[in-house]
Amino acid sequence: MLTGTGTGVGKTVVTAAVAALALSVRRSVAVLKPAQTGLVPGEPGDVDEVSRLAGDDVTTWELARFPDPLAPATAARRADVMPVTPAQAAAAAVELSRGHDLVLVEGSGGLLVRMDDHGGTLADVAWSAGAPVLIVAHAGLGTLNDTALTSEALQRRGIECAGIVVGSWPAEPDLAARCNLDDLAVVANAPLVGALPANAAALTRPKFLEMARRSLAPSLGGEFDAKGFAAEHAA
């Protein structure tokens, strides 16, 4: 399961990168988006972006779509339709797991964004499905607090953190971003397992796969070395 420390941190591109690496070694991959917000029917969503970047062999499933760019619970209420509950999302993930080697569940926003009016969140989906959670974080100032809060929420619920990925590493990182390469793993009590370059979504599919291999750690199928990357960008 992939969650962000907020919106716009690069969850979809990271999801596509993990999927691309799995596909490259002939693993079957499914990507589940429980709730897509901010789009009307017919517009390409996050699962379409994953397919564009990773490959058409990815099985994709979007459970619901709400037009307002809001938290899923709020967007569903405004659309006057039933929200997707954590139980429904977890059941869909388990169903996909029966026919695929890897199932990736991409959340909306952060870990504790409400999915329904009963307080259900992506954390409840992860707990119900027994899925480890990969945290996608932004690179710069403020990310340590956001990442620490997300990690603490996982720990308090007994959910495994699979690591931290910087979703968009800037071409010219500032002092805070460079220092954060060492500090993210400390505040999260979980390893830094990747850093994707900014504008990775603009790459062609073959170049995207090459980037994914360089930018994600062996635990995710790549060759990324956190210590080496931090040393390269030492403050």
Backbone region of residue 231 per phi and psi (left: phi > 0; alpha: psi in -120 to 50; beta: other values): alpha
Q: Give φ, ψ of 124 to 5 degrees.
A: -70, -35
Q: Span 122-129, mean pLDDT?
A: 95
- What's the CATH code of the domain at 94? 3.40.50.300
Is the pLDDT at 235 greater than 80, yes or no? no
The count of domains in the chain is 1
Domain that holds residue 163: 2-232
Rounded to whole angstroms, the Cα distance separating 192 from 216 reads 9
Type of residue numbered 165: V
Q: pTM of the prediction?
A: 0.96
Q: Is 33 a catalytic residue?
A: yes
pLDDT of residue 234: 82
Give ∠ CA 94-98-100 in degrees, rounded to 5.
105
Which stretches of the chain are DSSP H helices?
11-24, 46-54, 72-79, 86-97, 122-129, 143-156, 175-188, 205-215, 226-232
Q: Which of 11, 33, 207, 227 is catalytic?
A: 33
The share of the chain scoring above pLDDT 90, in percent, equals: 97
Question: For 163-216, how does the pLDDT look when each residue is reduced to its tens digit (9 = 90+)?
Answer: 999 999 999 999 999 999 999 999 999 999 999 999 999 999 999 999 999 999
